[in-house]
Amino acid sequence: MRDNALQPRKSLNKAFLKVKPIREEIEIFKSNLIKLLDQINEAESEEFHKNLISDFLKNTYYSPNHFINTKGRNDLVIHNGKDAKSSVGVILEAKKPTNKSEMLKVDNLNTKAFQELVLYFLRDRVAGKNLEIRYIVATNIYEWFIFDANIFEQYFAQNKALVKQFTDFEERRLTGKTTNFFYKQIAEPEIAKIHNKLEFTYFDIRDYEGFLRNTEAQDDRELIALFKLLSPEHLLKLPFANDSNSLDKTFYSELLYIIGLTETNEGSKKLIGRKAEGERNIASLIENSINQLDSLDKISRLENPSQFGDTYQERLFNVGLELAITWTNRILFLKLLEAQLIKYHKDDTNFLFLNLTKVNRVIASNFV
């Protein structure tokens, strides 16, 4: 296999790969995938097989939260929202299993299916100004080629010469007006220049069919990467349960409470500020900080107090907030360091250091 053809496991976010799937979801995935494979009928049309793929994706992952259907001449698209008004997140080209001449090959991407995907992508991205395309997919049910939209953005949407030719083609200024003209005269030569640089994920379901059809629960581990690869968390780049880039709501609420802040809505905006006067917790970090700044007359000692506000109360709040956030960040860093030390030393609790037995209570609570 080519170096730029990635296995499913290599393509997934490492944190997402570690999330343990729910048993029921795996069973639904297996059942629907077996049904998809068993319904293949080589005598039937491409449209028939496209509908099989659509039903599989809807019933396994996407219904009712993400709309799946055709869009214009695109074979299939997965929307980022519940209806056709939402932006397209995934563009999918479906071929029947017997259509080998038009389907991508690992050692030859420059086929009609890929040329079609380039046209569909440019129509949605350039003409439609859609900035929310996540992935581009080609499949014949057995084989799946999955491209991150960043790759298409780099090599196609940012290719000025290609975009100009595409625009001229769409506005019927060129000698040829058929899609076959675009594929052969425009897309094919451009793809030929860069096809060896294009990274993609590839898998063949037939390689997993033994694991799919047996009843050994332990073999389901071999299917987890496939299950996650086709999920909305991956294909639509949605946040997942323990995504390190997303903030747990319970932790977020507790953090605001400890600091002494509250979240309010102002129209469509979310604002974070000091609690109302009657609701303030004098033991919170910011109220402690403000109390000491005020009682010790610290504001008057600032070199440039006006940078923290126009009034004395504004300055108290802004300096107090800066101190509270600084100390919160330091404590969170120490807790992360402590957790790593415990992990590296095989859960040896002797390496715990951020607790009242080792940190003086007065020092731990004195932030100014």
Using one digit for the tens of pLDDT, what is the confidence trace for 299-333? 999 988 889 999 999 999 999 999 999 999 998 99
The answer to whether residue 244 is domain-embedded is no
Instruction: Compare 246 and 355 and report the one with higher pLDDT.
Output: 355
pLDDT score of 146 more than 80 = yes
Token pair of 41 as six digits: 């009928």
pLDDT score of 364 more than 60 = no
Q: What is the pLDDT of residue 358?
A: 74
Do 118 and 253 share a domain, yes or no?
Answer: no
Handedness of CA 44, 46, 51, 56 (dihedral sign): positive
Q: What is the pLDDT of residue 368?
A: 47
Last residue of a domain, one of 200, 235, 270: 235
Do 213 and 276 share a domain, yes or no?
Answer: no
The answer to whether residue 241 is domain-embedded is no
Helix%, strand%, coil% for the chain, nearest 5 = 55, 15, 35
Q: Which positions ≥6 away from 356 have C-beta within 8 Å?
A: 364
Distance of CA 277 to the CA centre of its chain: 40
Are the C-beta atoms of 104 and 149 separated by less than 8 Å?
A: no
Q: Compute the average pLDDT of residues 219-235.
A: 95
Do 150 and 229 share a domain, yes or no?
Answer: yes
Q: Which positions ≥6 away from 200 have C-beta within 8 Å?
A: 4, 5, 6, 109, 145, 146, 147, 151
Q: What is the pLDDT of residue 284?
A: 93
Q: Compute the average pLDDT of residues 335-355.
A: 86
- Band the pLDDT of 71: cuts 50, 70, 90: confident
Q: What is the pLDDT of residue 246?
A: 58
Are the C-beta atoms of 262 and 272 separated by less than 8 Å?
A: yes
Do 185 and 254 share a domain, yes or no?
Answer: no
Do 204 and 331 share a domain, yes or no?
Answer: no
- Give the integer Cα–Cα distance in Å for 14 and 240: 12
Strands 5-6 and 200-204: parallel
- Cα atoms found within 13 Å of the Cα of residue 10, Cβ hemisphere only: 11
Q: What is the pLDDT of residue 251?
A: 83
Do 98 and 216 share a domain, yes or no?
Answer: yes
Identity of residue 167: T
Do 184 and 78 share a domain, yes or no?
Answer: yes
Q: Compute the average pLDDT of residues 43-56.
A: 95
Do 183 and 75 share a domain, yes or no?
Answer: yes
- Give the integer Cα–Cα distance in Å for 89 and 131: 9
DSSP helix/strand/coil, 221: helix
The answer to whether residue 64 is domain-embedded is yes
Mean pLDDT of the chain: 91
Are the C-beta atoms of 259 and 286 separated by less than 8 Å?
A: yes
The answer to whether residue 11 is domain-embedded is yes
- Give the integer Cα–Cα distance in Å for 224 and 9: 9
DSSP letter, residue 73 = T
Q: What is the pLDDT of residue 3?
A: 77
- Give the integer Cα–Cα distance in Å for 36 and 234: 21
- Give the integer Cα–Cα distance in Å for 261 and 191: 54
Task: Pick the closest to residue 141 from 44, 215, 236 (CA basis).
Answer: 44
- Give the integer Cα–Cα distance in Å for 34 and 173: 48
DSSP helix/strand/coil, 361: helix
- Give the integer Cα–Cα distance in Å for 25 and 31: 10
The answer to whether residue 277 is domain-embedded is yes
Kindly report, residue by residue over 258-274, the tens digit of the pLDDT.
Answer: 999 999 887 767 889 99
Kindly report, residue by residue over 77-105, the tens digit of the pLDDT.
Answer: 999 999 999 999 999 999 999 999 999 99
Token pair of 27 as six digits: 């069973």
Q: What is the pLDDT of residue 362?
A: 46
Q: What is the pLDDT of residue 77?
A: 96
Q: Compute the average pLDDT of residues 118-132.
A: 96
Neighbours of 26 (CB within 10 A): 16
Last residue of a domain, one of 181, 201, 235: 235
Q: What is the pLDDT of residue 82?
A: 94
What is the percentage of the chain residues whose pLDDT exceeds 90? Answer: 74
Do 177 and 302 share a domain, yes or no?
Answer: no
H or E stretch at 272: strand 269-274
Do 78 and 147 share a domain, yes or no?
Answer: yes
Alpha-helical (H) ranges within the chain are 8-11, 14-18, 23-38, 46-57, 112-122, 149-152, 160-170, 179-181, 188-194, 209-213, 224-229, 232-235, 249-259, 285-295, 312-344, 361-365
Are the C-beta atoms of 350 and 274 separated by less than 8 Å?
A: no
Do 214 and 273 share a domain, yes or no?
Answer: no
Q: What is the pLDDT of residue 349?
A: 84
What is the percentage of the chain residues whose pLDDT exceeds 70? Answer: 95
What pTM, to 2 d.p., does this model score? Answer: 0.68
Q: Is the peptide bond before 64 cis (omega within 30 degrees of 0)?
A: yes
Range of the domain at 344: 249-365
Last residue of a domain, one of 204, 235, 266: 235
Beta bridge partners of 264: 271
The answer to whether residue 216 is domain-embedded is yes
Q: Which of 143-147, 248-252, 363-367 has the highest mean pLDDT?
A: 143-147
The answer to whether residue 243 is domain-embedded is no
Number of structural domains the chain divides into = 2
- Band the pLDDT of 243: cuts 50, 70, 90: low
DSSP letter, residue 87 = P
Do 86 and 176 share a domain, yes or no?
Answer: yes
Distance of CA 232 to the CA centre of its chain: 8
Q: Which residue has the tokens 């629907």?
A: 32
The answer to whether residue 34 is domain-embedded is yes
Beta bridge partners of 108: 105
Instruction: Compare 252 and 247 and report the one with higher pLDDT.
Output: 252
Q: What is the pLDDT of residue 240?
A: 80
